[in-house]
Structure 1
Amino acid sequence: MDFFDKAGIMTIGTRFRMLNEKMTEDANKIYPMYNVDMKPKWFPVFYIVSKEGEKSITEIANQIGHSHPSVSKIVREMINHKVLSEKKDKNDGRKNNIRLTAKGKQIADRIEDQYADVKKAVAKILDQSKFNMWYAIEEFEMLLEQKSLLQRVKEEKKYREAKKIQIVPYDPKYNESFKRLNQEWIETYFEMEEADHKALDNPEKYIIDKGGKILFALYENEPVGVCALIKMENHEYDFELAKMAVLPKMKGKGIGYLLGKSVIEEAKSLGAQKLYLESNTILKPAIQLYKKLGFQKVIGFFTPYARCNIQMGLEIKKNIDINYR
């Protein structure tokens, strides 16, 4: 067990498999003790049909939590061993019902003593255990139903990588990255417009010098994301959240959210009460991000961009801070 001590709880799946193999090995020896012609993998199907009567493969699969193909394969084996048989449903000729054969009924009678002995043996193991594994597994399954292991690992990966992200203020040395990151996503979906060229070619003149801000996301000192805060004149909103872009290979790491949140905090420090942005509904992940940051759809404002088909606003005083996790 040295491997399990070293690898720890990451091996939980391996340990479950080993435990299953060990118990299956014993089960293969237990059935003959009771003169029962069964295989351990048949048990869930056999139990349902023997206790509840005729069932379709779909009904059995739903009850035991197995896939339809796996149950179908097991049923075929049991039919070949003359434990089960199948017949057309009286009310639905497209459906076959599975039932016990005469041999299956004999097994059902004979296996009751085995059930009683196995239940008592397992109960004693659980009683001797410091922690009741049956209830622990039940709880573990419930937690995985709420959120799978895959989802949980994705979250941890995103959280770990997000801690490597640095949000830094504007520096002229990042100008080329500012232009490249934005131009790349714009040309992927749309065409560069005059307003794009002005801001991307001279960010200091059109953003910084007018009271705006530009923040960069660095990953291992490489600019992988950017977002600007543009001062709005003669407008209901104080600033526009704009020019947000993330390097394609870095998407899915929460960089956009970190940039958006940082820009909102920057706007707060400048005394802003309302933020505005423009986007296009074809950019579904971006729209979801803006909603997560608290932006809501607004209408009726002039835009210099032909690609804009949605405008959104955020009242900072009402914005609820969202923890990254």
Structure 2
Amino acid sequence: MANDLDSSSQLRQLSRYMVRHLGMLNAAVGDLPLSPVQAHALLEIGNQPQTIKDLASKLCIDKSNASRAIKHLIDKHLAQSQMHPKDSRCLVVQLTPIGKKLLAKLNSQQNQLFQEILAQLTSDQIHHIEQALMQYNQAIDKAKQQSGCIIRAASAADDAAIAQVIRDVSAEYGLTADKGYSVADPTLDCLSQIYSQAGAQYWVVEYEGRVVGGAGIAPLANNAGICELQKMYFMPEIRGKGLAKRLALLALDFARQTGYQSCYLETTAILKEALKLYEHLGFSPLSAPLGNTGHDACEIPMLLPLQPK
């Protein structure tokens, strides 16, 4: 947790530094008669005509702020509005010839700024920065998508709800009890007791007052130093938001802090999304399962060495 706080503080500091030194807090962008918001609006409208709603979404601002930016561009004869061809209640904004000339000047100015910055770096460094910023932007998007989702340690009060999630998702994918999947576990209705043992933890995802997913870590029986990532299930309404990865990372951090050397799991090819995530996290398939989990139908055993962060 301390390392996470240190990383968060450092990223915040670096983000503030970039915002300030790229001039985003200035009243105008360079020597142009545009505020940062107006400059971003000019760029987006130059790429494609925009409605106020579309522009607000792309700039991550409220519609009133987007409307003010558009009004400024129109007042300066940089943009013009016309009725939407498919919706008479909506206006579409596009650049005027004057606006296009100013956009060309803006692009030239910003290109020069970034060329001077990139001139300080090697090709490899530029590539690494591009990759890191792409990942950072993706993380920002996922965090926004997860707004309203609460991740917390499970309690006895969650037992019935998480058991129902596991049963519902298992039924959705045809993972029936008679085939040897974890939905048949006799402890399914009392998971809080199972994960109260030393070296174990279960987390649930709560959304709009309902438990809609979860995942856990527990020691793998008769395998010292190895834990198992278990019972990771999510209801359809919260899939695609990156929560599976977030819970897996949380569980793996817990495993490292607890002192485990490796993390084991068993899955099936039916769960294509889960298998792809495990591979992305660095899990490798094993030729044979470890221990005796009782999940005979999970034909893909995998293992991840846990290196200290």
Aligned to 2:176: 191
User: Cα deviation per residue 1:170-210 (whole Å; 9 max; x = unaligned)?
Assistant: 21111122111111121122202575331312214444346
How do 1:307-318 residues align onto structure 2 when only pairs under 5 Å count?
Answer: 307-317=297-307
CA-to-aligned-CA distance 1:76-121 (integer Å, 9 cap, x gap): xxxxxxxxxxxxxxxxxxxxxxxxxxxxxxxxxxxxxxxxxxxxxx
Paired position in structure 2 for 1:208: 196
Between the two proteins, the alignment pairs up a number of residues equal to 200
* Structure 2 partner of 1:121: none
Note the alpha carbon deviations across 1:258-296, whole angstroms, 9 max, x for none. Answer: 110111111122211111100001211101111222211
Per-residue CA deviations over 1:119-139 (Å, capped at 9, x if unaligned) read xxxxxx69x946538979xx9
Which deviates further from its counterpart, 260-269 or 154-163?
154-163
Distance 1:257 1:233 in 2: 25
Equivalent of residue 14 in structure 1, options 45, 54, 62: 45
Q: Which residue of 1 aligns with 2:294?
A: 304
Instruction: Flag the structure with higher helix content.
Output: 1
Residue 232 of structure 2 corresponds to 244
Separation of aligned partners in 2, 1:6 and 1:220: 36
In 1, the alpha carbon distance for the partners of 2:191 and 2:273 equals 26
Give the corresponding residue for 2:222: 234
Q: Alignment RMSD, CA only?
A: 3.8
Equivalents in 2 of 1:264, 1:161: separation in Å? 22
The answer for unaligned runs of 5 or more in structure 1 is: 20-124, 140-145
Q: Which residue of 2 aligns with 1:171?
A: 155
SS of the residue aligned with 1:312?
Answer: strand
- In the alignment, the residues of structure 1 paired with residue 270 and residue 250 of structure 2 have an alpha-carbon distance, to the nearest angstrom, of 25
Summarize the Cα distance change of 1:130–1:257 in structure 2 as closer, same or farther, 3 Å threshold.
closer
TM-score, structure 2 normalization: 0.54
Q: Is the Cα contact below 8 Å between 2:154 and 2:192 reproduced in 1?
A: no
Quote the residue 2:142 is aligned against: 158
* Counterpart position of 2:207: 219
Normalising by the residue count of structure 1, what TM-score does the alignment of the two structures yield? 0.51
Q: Give the C-alpha shift of residue 223 in structure 1.
A: 2.4
Q: Residues 238, 252 of structure 1: CA spacing in aligned structure 2 closer, same or farther, 3 A cutoff?
A: same
Q: Structure 2: which amino acid aligns with 1:132?
A: S
Amino acid at match of 1:185: V
Equivalent position amino acid for 2:156 in 1:
P
In structure 1, give the amino acid aligned to 2:304: L
Distance 1:14 1:203, change over 3 A: same
Q: Which of structures 1 and 2 has the bigger CA Rg?
A: 1
**Matched-pair contact (CA < 8 Å) for 1:198–1:206:** no
- Residue segments in structure 2 that go unaligned for 5+ positions in a row: 1-33, 51-100, 116-129
